[in-house]
Amino acid sequence: MLAINNVTKQFGTVKALNGVTFDVPDGQITGLIGQNGAGKSTTFHSILNFLNYEGEITWDGQPITENDFDNIGYLPEERSLMAKLTVEQQIVYLARLKNKPAKIIRPQIDDWMTKFAVKGKKTDKIKSLSKGNQQKVQLICTLIHQPKLIILDEPFSGLDPVNADLLKRAILEARRRGAAIIFSSHDMANVESICDRLVMLKTGNVVLNGALGEVRESFGRSELYVTTDWQEGQLAELSHVTNVTHLRDHRYLLHLDDPAAGRDIFDRLTGGHYIEEFSQQPPTLDEIFRLKAVTNHE
């Protein structure tokens, strides 16, 4: 398990991290979210000992040392491949830095390129690939040595939905073999679809931390999806409905100031008759992100 305890990092007068504390358990995926400048990349760089910091970061109860790097896979936000190398040369080179012999890595490359649907051959130079395919090669370099700790900084950047799904499968596969995984993303749908745990940073402070479902439920079931013949104006007049969003046709999203009002609203809308949809849910992660991004840290 990766444990980050009371980590603080200051750049001049700017406190990039302020007592950040959270865990990344083995066999789980942790999503690290926050606005630009919230401290996500600084957190990653601190874990990797790229920066000096105050506090403690441990892996399986011990400080992370150079010997642990062989078991860490790191994908930086910026592409860092060597353009003049072939795909095979690049993958083998970085794997050897992780003490994986070329004779073990080379036979795996074709399978990994197929897994990520890389358009190109392993003999192609990196510079000849599209940006999306370069991103996929960099992901292969990050994962092919089967690290126990995986750190992905904006891994979905530049990937279309089809290729993003390929990456999700690879991340889930790594979770099944017991890896501890932490990744950052601005796409809350990607975070919500695969994460077990969630950490949100705001100006260097942890403002959310916990199991994804628990974090969502902590905001209450204040979102009510209904499909009804009632008109938008009628729905807006219901008690405890603060806002109505017309989604399509007869489908609406009702925002409630009191989740307990859901039962009474159900009785009003149905009148004892069949209703096609009535689904009361906590806010989406996207809504929670916007809410926490604009409120003061508590």
Domain boundaries, the chain: 2-217, 223-281
Q: Describe the strand order of the beta sheet including 2-11 as a list of residue ranges.
A: 14-24, 2-11, 54-59, 62-63
Is residue 247 pLDDT above 80, yes or no? Answer: yes
pLDDT at 272: 81
Contacts of 101 (CB under 8 A, 6+ apart): none
pLDDT band for 295, please (50, 70, 90 cuts). Answer: low
> What confidence tens digit (pLDDT) does each residue in 39-88 have?
999 999 999 999 999 999 999 999 999 889 999 999 998 878 999 999 99
Other beta carbons within 10 angstroms of residue 147's beta carbon come to 21
> What confidence tens digit (pLDDT) does each residue in 97-124 have?
999 999 999 999 999 999 999 999 999 9
Q: What is the mean pLDDT of residues 219-228?
A: 94
pLDDT band for 297, please (50, 70, 90 cuts). Answer: very low
Tokens of 11: 């750049």
**Token pair 């969003």 in the structure block, residue:** 245
pLDDT at 66: 87
pLDDT at 296: 52
pLDDT at 293: 83
Q: What is the mean pLDDT of residues 137-142?
A: 95
SS3 196: coil
Is residue 91 pLDDT above 90, yes or no? Answer: yes
> What confidence tens digit (pLDDT) does each residue in 176-220 have?
999 999 999 998 999 999 999 999 999 999 999 999 999 999 999
pLDDT at 263: 93
Q: Are the C-beta atoms of residues 55 and 19 closer than 8 Å to each other?
A: yes
Give the mean pLDDT of the chain: 93
Over pLDDT 70: what percentage of the chain? Answer: 99
Architecture of the domain delimited by 2-217 = 3-Layer(aba) Sandwich (3.40)
Q: Are the C-beta atoms of residues 254 and 277 closer than 8 Å to each other?
A: no
Q: What is the mean pLDDT of residues 126-149?
A: 94
Question: b/e for 83-106, b at 16 or more Cβ within 10 A?
Answer: eebbbbbbbbebbeebebeeeebe
pLDDT at 298: 44
Question: In Å, how far are 104, 105, 144 from 110, measured between CA atoms?
Answer: 13, 10, 11
Q: What is the mean pLDDT of residues 122-143?
A: 94
Q: Long-range contact list for 209-212, CB < 8 A, 24+ apart? A: 209/21, 209/22, 212/31, 212/285
